[in-house]
Amino acid sequence: MSLAKTLDQLEISPRKREILTLNHSYLMPNRVETWAGAGVPLVIGRREGYRFWDIDGHELQDLHINGGTYNLGHRNPELVRALVKAVATLDVGNHHFPSEARGRLAEALARHTPGDLHYSVLAPSGGEANDVAIKSARRATGRRKIVSLEAGYHGASGLSGAAGNDTEAAYFHSDYPDEFVKVPFGDLDAMEKALSGRDVAAVLIEPIPATFGFPIPEQDYLPGVRSLCDRYETLLVADEVQTGLGRTGQLWAVETFGVQPDMLISGKGLGGGLYPIGVVVMTREVGAWLGERGWGYVSTFGGSELGCVVALRSLEISASEETARNVAEMSVHLEQGLGDIRSRHPFLCDVRQKGLIVGLGFDDPYGGLKMAAALYPLGLWAMLAGFDRRYLQFKAGLLVDRAFLDEALEKLETAIRRVAG
């Protein structure tokens, strides 16, 4: 069906119709058609805290928070103040030279990351930070191969894309099957087989794979991967773009599994949803190239000074005791509420939870998709898990309160009744 015909079937304002048509014509024809066809013709307008409003006025609770980008809420007032204050005197800076904002952020990252992670390389996105991690691992080990999970997503830039979904990478002829090896999630035997040739530079892993619907690994899986890495002299890289910054109940998910990586990636929420920034924090040994090759990685916008100011504040808030306390309390509240709903509705057949990170499994091959579509008109936006459509990612921000969660749980139950009933 043509876009115009699909739009005719939706109740939308002339302004929204114009915006959708512009985006369809000049930016993203397939995305516009997909969302319109799914009955989600969303164009986000006002946004505040953990809510946003479609430009036609529909109010939505944000349980997607863009994978943690809005961990601290949309336009968090403290972060907005930090940005506005910074822009009075700063701009992105000149990436060739040292800067106070970059130095202070890097020192805080070294302090707030586990083990002896020390040097930071600042990038404009999570994907690019993963690219830098892969290059650093190759440089440090003299090996080319990277092992990642079949269930993993690490970004869509060059190397990070090759470390993710093979079909997506192959579509752009950017897959390198000899160099990027994929193993199943949770399978230590497969991991050992992949590493035993002693030719793997790094294992790149999301501690809890987000796009796969947050399957929680067995408590001994990540420590097992760590010891295999040690045995075969392979580096361990934790992609904490989604799982980091307090969402699991600890500042970093690796801490909840008692594992120390050689590199840790952060992004998304680090920029507070206001200024793009990504980072890879690495040990002194892995980052030895930084002492030799000043321009080994160069990015005009990587570590923009405005982004660093926001990121420092965002890191401080995420790491504070007060925030951790709220995450702990709200996680328990959410767990109880989801448990109650599950006991009443077997259609909700799986609840995966670590802190405020939640994947909900439904008894339907497209359950995640159907639930996202059912929740939208009820005023809640949550995103299905792209690699497993039975699952819905149900992601609350770090500063939510009970009333917000109760409202979301009520909508969830109503949507389950509609979809299952």
Please tell me whether residue 354 binds ligand PLP under the rule CB under 6 A: no
* Cβ closest to ligand PLP, residue 49 vs residue 271: 271
Cα–Cα distance between 364 and 367 in angstroms, integer?
5
Please tell me whether residue 161 binds ligand PLP under the rule CB under 6 A: no
Q: How far is the CB of 123 from ligand PLP (least distance, A)?
A: 9
Q: How far is the CB of 396 from ligand PLP (least distance, A)?
A: 17
Please tell me whether residue 247 binds ligand PLP under the rule CB under 6 A: no
Q: Mask 271-300, x = binds ligand PLP (CB under 6 A)?
A: -------x----------------------
Question: What is the C-alpha radius of gyration for the chain, rounded to an integer number of angstroms?
Answer: 21
Please tell me whether residue 210 binds ligand PLP under the rule CB under 6 A: yes
Please tell me whether residue 126 binds ligand PLP under the rule CB under 6 A: yes
Please tell me whether residue 125 binds ligand PLP under the rule CB under 6 A: yes
Provide the token pair at 118: 């020390």
- Site size toward ligand PLP, by CB under 6 A: 15
The residues in 4-23 that bind ligand PLP, with binding defined as CB under 6 A, are none
Q: For ligand PLP, which stretch binds (CB under 6 A), given 119-127, 252-260, 350-358, 394-402?
A: 119-127
User: What residue type is 377 in one-letter code?
Assistant: P
Please tell me whether residue 248 binds ligand PLP under the rule CB under 6 A: no
Provide the token pair at 79: 């972060």
Judged by CB under 6 A, the residue of 106, 235, 241, 415 near ligand PLP is: 241
**Contacting residues for 30 by C-beta, under 8 A, at least 6 apart:** none
Q: How far is the CB of 74 from ligand PLP (least distance, A)?
A: 17
Contact of 317 with 216, CB cutoff 8 Å: no
Q: For ligand PLP, which stretch binds (CB under 6 A), given 40-48, 108-116, 126-134, 315-323?
A: 126-134
Contact of 62 with 398, CB cutoff 8 Å: no
- Burial class, 101, CB count within 10 angstroms (exposed 0-12 / middle 13-18 / buried 19+): buried
Q: What share of the chain is helix, strand, coil (3-state, %, to 5)?
A: 45, 15, 40
Cα–Cα distance between 159 and 134 in angstroms, integer?
7
Contact of 389 with 213, CB cutoff 8 Å: no
Judged by CB under 6 A, the residue of 54, 62, 239, 262 near ligand PLP is: 239
CB atoms < 10 A from the CB of 234, how many? Answer: 26
User: What residue type is 35 in one-letter code?
Assistant: W
* Cβ closest to ligand PLP, residue 119 vs residue 214: 214
Using CB under 6 A, list all residues that contact ligand PLP: 67, 125-127, 130, 153-155, 206, 210, 239, 241-242, 267, 278
